[in-house]
Amino acid sequence: MRQGFPTHCFRIRRSFPARHRLPLNHVPLIAAAVAALLVSAAGPAGAAETGHAADITLSEKGGSCEVRDVPVAAAPPAEVRIDADDVAFDCSGSTAFRLGRDAAFAFDDAAGTATADVLRIVGTKLGFTCGYEASDVVFHREGPSREYTGGPYTGRKVQGSFLCPRSVQLDRAAFAFR
C-alpha cells in the first residue's frame, strides 16, 4: 500500500450495504411500472394497424421523387398528418427531396380540395442543401378518388447557405390517400 492513503480505500466490499439494497416488497411495484411503460410505449393503434397510407410525388424540372405507402393515422375527410420521418423519397434527376417537417392536411370534400397548413421541402442538388416552405398549399381532388394534385408552387427559403436561391418553384405535387 502506498503511504498517505487510508487503508479502508483499498478494501473491496463483497456486497452492497443495506441502505443500497432494494427491499423485496418493491420488486412487484417496479415490475408493474416497467410493464406499464412497455404497454404505453406501444401507444395507440398506429398507422400500420389502421391500414391508412399515402403516396407522394414531387416533380421539378427534369426530375421527380416518389414514395409509396407512407403510414398515416387517419384517412380523409379527417385531418391527415404525415410524419416527415416516415417519408423516404426515391428520386430521379439531379435533385433529392425530403420533407423538412411534418405536414398536416385538412380536407374540404364539397370543394374537392386538400390544404396543407405548411409544406416544407428540403432539396439537395450538387451537394448543396436548401430548405423551402410554402403556407396554405391547396391541392385539388381528381374525381371521386382521394388523389390530390397541384402546382406549380413557390417556396421561400427557410434554410441553407447564401448560395441557395431565395425562392424556388416546385412544378407539381401529388398526394394519394388510402
- 129-139: per-residue pLDDT in tens? 999 999 999 99
- What is the separation, in whole angstroms, between the first and last Cα of the chain? 74
Alpha-carbon distances, residue 107 vs 50, 101, 112 (angstroms):
19, 19, 8
User: Would you place residue 22 in the very low, low, confident or very high pLDDT band (cuts 50, 70, 90)?
Assistant: very low
pLDDT at position 30: 43
User: Would you place residue 87 in the very low, low, confident or very high pLDDT band (cuts 50, 70, 90)?
Assistant: very high
Summarize the confidence of residues 159-168 as an average pLDDT: 94
Question: Are 121 and 155 in contact, with CB atoms under 8 Å apart?
Answer: yes
Which pTM value belongs to this model?
0.70
- 28-39: per-residue pLDDT in tens? 434 433 333 333
Sequence-ordered alpha helix ranges (H) in the chain: 27-42, 47-50
